[in-house]
Amino acid sequence: MDCSATAKPMIDAGDMLAETRERFCIPEGVRYFDGNSLGLMPKVVQLHASNVITHEWGTGLIHSWHDAEWRTLPQRTGAKIAALIGAEPQQVVACDSTSVNLFKVLVSAVRLRAGRQKIVTDSDAFPTDLYIVGQVARLFGLTVVGVPAREINDNLDEDVAAVVLTHVDYRSAEIYDMQAYTQRAHEAGALIVWDLSHTAGAVPCDLDGSGADFAVGCGYKYLNGGPGAPAYLYVAERHADACEQPLAGWFGHARPFDFAPDYKPASGTVRFLCGTNPVIGLSVLSRALDIFEGVCLSDLRSRSIRLTALFIDSVDKHLSSHGFAVASPRDATRRGSHVSLRHQHGYGVMQELAKRKFIGDFRMPDYMRFGFAPLYNNDEDVHALIDAIDQIMISRDWEKPEYQQRRDFT
């Protein structure tokens, strides 16, 4: 939310964000640095979910499609997310998974650019995006040009239908300039699809302002929607009514309850809905998003930068002798809300941290990833983390089997 749009007078940013920390359940003794994988549970969702299940479902039954407004949950939840990603509200719906939504918007994009033969994407993108890009290319007989993100702009020509790029890199946290990439794609006549999974809720962006075409993202990281929360998608209003998305289900129909045999898409982004939507999951996500109400996004960003900068400075100061390399940009303007360190014993270090209830995650081959969620992480978390890593590095036998056998996190 833009500061100017906040109804109540802004209080000091630090105070406001100290207050939001209180709204999350932080298990005793835990230091949590994985909000970029699964956000902490907002306290309010416990009662809320209980209400949805017991009252809306248990008592209201099918009447709740109207009375509890289940029907419009994708739109209402989408509107809350829109405020976090620089979009007018009607352009975002919450539904399905990020991968499914990427499929929908990318097929729509290549149909809008029919005749062009290539999709260009970041070869280091989160793999599920690459898999979906591959399938779309296969369905339409297109070629995938996978190159490092910074080479994308050198690979654009009049044969590129779409560019697919993640705004904040899932490993390095590098931010790719939304305005610049979008503009360059458009100069080549291509459309661009942004993945905002590591952006929304921690790093402001401006979809409308940058002229982006499509975006997708997940609900379970910085949006705190819970494990496997519904994802979302954005379609620029100028495109929506020209889009034909392939997962044409009844919730995307102009009049779903006419049960008409012919598909007539709803106008706007609503046509990107498919089957019956996950009411419980959407309700939880929607309620979790209320925490952002009254939070100024530039304050959120300042706090995120302060935390990641403090961490990087402390690594330099206290951990460099242990051989850790900072794998995230040192330039704060190019860095998202997590920091990755690389270390040959990274997996083992994460194991030792977990024993001490410091929770981050590990990404192949040697990335130790620490998320700093500005709604709840604070300076003390950073200091404690640095101390813990320092302690762990002092006398560990890294050849022990427990440090070799990788355990999967997400």
Query: Least distance from C-beta 9 to a second copy, angstroms?
Result: 32
| Binding track over 362-381 against a second copy, x by CB under 8 A | -xx-----------------
* Beta-bridge partners for 60: none
**Binding of residue 195 to a second copy (CB under 8 A):** no
Residue 232 is among the residues annotated as catalytic for this protein: no
Residue 33 is among the residues annotated as catalytic for this protein: no
- Measured N-to-C along each axis, helices 73-82 and 279-289 cross at an angle, to the nearest 10 degrees, of 30
Q: Which is nearer to a second copy, 193 or 296 (CB)?
A: 193
In terms of Cβ atoms closer than 10 Å to its own Cβ (0-12, 13-18, 19+), residue 401 is exposed
What's 99's DSSP letter? H
What's 307's DSSP letter? H
**Binding of residue 96 to a second copy (CB under 8 A):** yes
**Binding of residue 7 to a second copy (CB under 8 A):** no
User: Cis peptide leading into 365, omega within 30 of 0?
Assistant: yes
129 is in an annotated binding site: yes
166 is in an annotated binding site: yes
> How far is Cα 309 from Cα 171, in angstroms, rounded to an integer?
17
**Binding of residue 51 to a second copy (CB under 8 A):** no
Residue 221 is among the residues annotated as catalytic for this protein: yes
| Binding track over 220-259 against a second copy, x by CB under 8 A | x-----xxxxxx--------------xxxxx--x--xxxx
**Binding of residue 404 to a second copy (CB under 8 A):** no
In the chain, what is the straight-line distance between the N-terminal and C-terminal CA atoms, in Å? 29
Q: Containing H/E element for 351?
A: helix 346-355
Q: Which is nearer to a second copy, 46 or 344 (CB)?
A: 46
Strands 191-195 and 160-166: parallel
Strands 118-122 and 143-147: parallel
Residue ranges in 328-357 that form contacts with a second copy under rule CB under 8 A: 354
Tokens representing 61?
Answer: 């039954």
- Measured N-to-C along each axis, helices 297-314 and 379-394 cross at an angle, to the nearest 10 degrees, of 20
Of 34, 122, 169, 195, the catalytic one is 195
Q: Is 390 helix (H, G, I), strand (E, B) or coil?
A: helix
Tokens representing 360?
Answer: 């981050």
**Binding of residue 32 to a second copy (CB under 8 A):** yes
**Binding of residue 46 to a second copy (CB under 8 A):** yes
99 is in an annotated binding site: yes
Contact (CB, 8 A) for 370 and 339 = yes
Q: Which is nearer to a second copy, 71 or 356 (CB)?
A: 71
Q: Is 248 helix (H, G, I), strand (E, B) or coil?
A: coil
Q: Which is nearer to a second copy, 99 or 302 (CB)?
A: 99
**Binding of residue 168 to a second copy (CB under 8 A):** no
* Cα of 279 vs its chain's centroid, Å: 20
Contact (CB, 8 A) for 249 and 121 = no
Query: Least distance from C-beta 310 to a second copy, angstroms?
Result: 23
Query: Least distance from C-beta 337 to a second copy, angstroms?
Result: 17
Helices (H) and strands (E) in the chain, counts: 13, 15
Residue ranges in 257-276 that form contacts with a second copy under rule CB under 8 A: 257-263, 274-276
Query: Least distance from C-beta 98 to a second copy, angstroms?
Result: 5
Q: Which stretch binds a second copy (CB under 8 A): 32-40, 150-158, 160-168, 172-180?
A: 32-40
Q: Which is nearer to a second copy, 161 or 305 (CB)?
A: 161
Tokens representing 301?
Answer: 């960003």
Q: Look at the chain and count its residues.
A: 410
> How far is Cα 233 from Cα 195, in angstroms, rounded to an integer?
9
59 is in an annotated binding site: no
Residue 356 is among the residues annotated as catalytic for this protein: no
Residue ranges in 120-149 that form contacts with a second copy under rule CB under 8 A: 123-124, 126-128, 130-132, 134-135, 138-139, 146
Query: Least distance from C-beta 216 to a second copy, angstroms?
Result: 10
What's 395's DSSP letter? S
**Binding of residue 405 to a second copy (CB under 8 A):** no
Q: Which residues are catalytic?
A: 126, 195, 220-221, 369
Residues of each annotated binding site for pyridoxal 5'-phosphate: 98-99, 126-129, 166, 195, 198, 220, 250, 276
